[in-house]
Amino acid sequence: MDQAPRQARVVVIGAGIQGNSMAYHLAKLGWKDIVLLDKGPLPNPGGSTGHASNFLFPVDHSKEMTKFTQDSILQYKELGVFTESGGIEVARTPERVEELKRRLASATSWGEPAELLTPSQVKELIPFINQDIVLGGFYSPGVGVVDSLRAGTLMREEGERLGALTVLANTEVTGIGVKNGRIGSVETSRGRIDTEVIVVACGVWSPRIARMAGASIPLTPAVHQMIDVGPVPILAGTVGEIGYPIIRDVDTNMYERQHGSEFEVGSYAHRPILVDPDKIPSMEEAALSPTELPFTREDFDPQMEQALELFPEILGDERVGIKYAINGLLSLTPDGMPLLGESPQVRGLWSVAAVWVKEAPGIGRTMAEWMTDGTPEIDPHASDIARFYGRATTRPTGSSTRPSNGSPIATSGSVPSTPGRRSSARCSSRPPAGSGPTGTSRTPGSSTSTATGSCPARLSGTGDGGPPSSTPSTWPCGSGSA
């Protein structure tokens, strides 16, 4: 086994789409001695990126999120991994029709082309949709799909070509050395790396990594269910990966997309299924991958009925079987926004967590600019990890409940966060002088103790996936091979 370098200017932990984007943009801005490592194999180390549906809708009511996604689409296009398909958000209720009008206002404000569609216009673009339950649509022509694993490979290759990047696969971070409130080193399965800057791009594992430094990255791994059915006879003639706009059925918190002759159905509407970061299985323990937990079919049943209402020709066809079904893991935060910036608790510990494929390259660029000179072009203030008061940075211990907007929250009982070196309510999170690529403030070889997690509480009353259930008789399409 190769040893890790003894020193690095910056260590990026996690080689999913976000870690690759970080290494790429830091290298492009002139940083040298970058080490990117992942505990899994490459190009698919087992994180959420490896099983994403990989579609991007650019328009959000948040200007910040829209800008991140618009920039990401440009970057994916430059890398040659983007396929434009267009996308439609459909309305089943009059209230949603009103919201789609506001969405058009947001799109116009943020400079993104879009238009409202009548039900028959929706049907023209998607001939297999049930027009009878659609009251209108919001069409976004810039929607598309990407190959996020290929994008990551191209980004790593560019960092290596610039002579700035060392990539270590199958290398696990086991501890972080902190001295006087600053990062000093990273302990890995290939030895210790002295560094003053760490970027945590570990997706659902990020809270574990932060705890190694005595800090908090307040996200919760949560299940998002997705199934893939096919082959679908009426899609047999579709050319290429995608030939029809992607559908977001926002009134039911679902999405559907054609994928070759197959059809994906994803749901955010099921009960909250939260998973403790410490209980995510290892690569060896997992049947598929650490972030593809066994499918719990009974949670998906009501959503399948709703998807059937919209696509009876596909999902009601008894010849169509289920090819793949997972309880996938993604990151949820207290307010739904990403967690970006230097930790308010430990200097030199940068979080790039709770990020989707759709905004990762834009966030990578923004973070690299922020780390280099403190002034990113896109203002990331709503995603600043320093935005929380203490309670939101603690680990929830009670049962879960669902608020009216459908997103899971944890309730009752919390433990105090690990005491930080600085207040989590600080106003500014700009980097210290000299933290850019030519910074000289490092303290090489400082001997530091490795902080370990100090919050014993666990999530309770939450599922961890569990075994697949038996096939219920209510499912419309064939039982396939899920």
Q: Are strands 34-37 and 10-13 parallel, antiparallel or unpaired?
A: parallel
Mapped onto helix, strand or coil, the DSSP state of residue 358 is: helix
Q: Is 439 in the site for ligand FAD (CB under 6 A)?
A: no
User: Tokens 């923004």 belong to which residue?
Assistant: 366
**DSSP letter string over 73-117?**
HHHHHHHT-EEE--EEEEESSHHHHHHHHHHHHHHHHTT---EEE
Given the complex with ligand FAD, which of 242 and 414 has the nearer CB atom?
242
Q: Residues 198-237: x/- map of binding to ligand FAD (CB under 6 A)? A: ---xxxxx---x--------------x-x-----------
Q: Is the dihedral of CA 311, 315, 320, 324 positive or negative?
A: positive
CB of 85 to ligand FAD, least distance (A): 12
102 exposed, middle or buried (CB, 10 Å; 0-12, 13-18, 19+)? exposed
Of residues 336-355, which lie at the interface with ligand FAD (CB under 6 A)?
355
Given the complex with ligand FAD, which of 340 and 355 has the nearer CB atom?
355
The conformation of residue 294, written as its DSSP 8-state character, comes to P
Interface region with ligand FAD, contact rule CB under 6 A, candidates 47-55, 297-305, 361-369, 419-427: 47-55
Interface region with ligand FAD, contact rule CB under 6 A, candidates 34-42, 100-108, 377-385, 413-421: 34-42
Q: CA 135 to CA 117: how far, in whole Å?
A: 9
Mapped onto helix, strand or coil, the DSSP state of residue 285 is: coil
Interface region with ligand FAD, contact rule CB under 6 A, candidates 267-275, 328-336, 459-467, 471-479: 328-336
Q: Is 136 in the site for ligand FAD (CB under 6 A)?
A: no
CB of 342 to ligand FAD, least distance (A): 17
420 backbone dihedrals φ, ψ, rounded to 5°: -95, 170
Q: Is 365 in the site for ligand FAD (CB under 6 A)?
A: no
Q: Is 329 in the site for ligand FAD (CB under 6 A)?
A: yes
Given the complex with ligand FAD, which of 304 and 439 has the nearer CB atom?
304
Q: Is 300 in the site for ligand FAD (CB under 6 A)?
A: no
Closest C-alpha among 3, 443, 385 to residue 185: 443
Q: Is 48 in the site for ligand FAD (CB under 6 A)?
A: yes
From its phi and psi, is residue 341 left (phi > 0), alpha (psi between -120 and 50) or beta? left
Q: Is 19 in the site for ligand FAD (CB under 6 A)?
A: yes
322: β partners: 229
Instruction: Tell me which residues touch ligand FAD (CB under 6 A).
Output: 13-19, 37-40, 45-49, 51-56, 172-173, 201-205, 209, 224, 226, 328-330, 355-358
